[in-house]
Amino acid sequence: EIVLTQSPGTLSLSPGERATLSCRASQSVSSSYLAWYQQKPGQAPRLLIYGASSRATGIPDRFSGSGSGTDFTLTISRLEPEDFAVYYCQQYGSSPVTFGPGTKVDIK
Amino acid sequence: QVQLVQSGAEVKKPGSSVKVSCKASGGTFSSYAISWVRQAPGQGLEWMGGIIPIFGTANYAQKFQGRVTITADESTSTAYMELSSLRSEDTAVYYCARGSIRLAAAGPRVDAFDIWGQGTMVTVSS
């Protein structure tokens, strides 16, 4: 099973700032089958990024993903008030599908 | 616009079973995979298993093997997740999620989960 580690656990930033979230895998993620999700309190997760760097339908271009192998990054170029949430990475290249523990982005 | 609509909240006794449904509306059902993901209060996301209706095959996370059964009824575009021998640690929100299917050398695989149900709260308490 591929174990995903996310850092930092919490990121405290102000609106307008840049957020950089990290996801590290215990072994290489096949064909960059790595996704990022956003979850707000009381809501289901929402797909942001798939294939490590492709934005899902309707996702603003301030969200971008990069990386390959075992190291992946989600960048939010300029934080909007609605971006404060928890972000999870997920690998779906190997069975079982696994999720990281999440990074909470909160308002500084 | 495809939606996944789940059944309502459940309260169960320890040792009993729960069956949660997930109905797809507004699009095709069989050509996608449905996975089940749970989230305990204040915790992260945990994949339980999934099914590809067109193949009729389900696979499960090892942690839940023997306790979970995932099925799908193509005639009603509905997937089901049944969890047995419930214990307090199973208290969680249970989500269904849709993913596209890709063919791999090791068999069909599921892509990222692009559509999620609204979640079903299952509380296990005596």
What single letter denotes the amino acid at residue B93? V
Interface touch B45/A46, C-beta < 8 Å: no
Q: Does A57 touch chain B (CB under 8 A)?
A: yes
Nearest to A44 among B35, B111, B116 (CB): B116
For the cut 90, the answer to whether the pLDDT of residue B28 exceeds it is no
Interface touch B112/A35, C-beta < 8 Å: yes
Using the structure block, give the residue that is written with the tokens 């797909």.
Answer: A47
Q: Give dist(CA B68, CA A12) in Å, integer.
A: 39
Using the structure block, give the residue that is written with the tokens 């993903």.
Answer: A65
Q: What is the pLDDT along chain A (108 residues), one digit of tens a residue?
A: 999 999 999 999 999 999 999 999 999 998 889 999 999 999 999 999 999 999 999 999 999 999 999 999 999 999 999 999 999 999 999 989 999 999 999 999
* Burial readout A19-42 (b: 16 or more C-beta within 10 A, e: otherwise): bebbbbbeeebeebbbbbbbbeee
Interface touch A90/B45, C-beta < 8 Å: yes
Pairing relationship of beta strands A4-7 and A10-13 according to DSSP bridges: unpaired
Sort out which chain B residues have CB atoms less than 8 A from A56's CB and list them. Answer: 112, 114
Closest CA to A39 of A96, A98, A92, A103: A103
What is the tens place of the pLDDT at every residue in B53-104?
A: 888 889 999 999 999 999 999 999 999 999 999 999 999 999 999 999 988 8
Sort out which chain B residues have CB atoms less than 8 A from A50's CB and list them. Answer: 111-112, 114
Sort out which chain A residues have CB atoms less than 8 A from B109's CB and list them. Answer: 92-93, 95
Residue B15: both structure tokens together: 């040792």
| Distance from chain centroid for Cα B81 | 5
Interface touch A47/B113, C-beta < 8 Å: yes
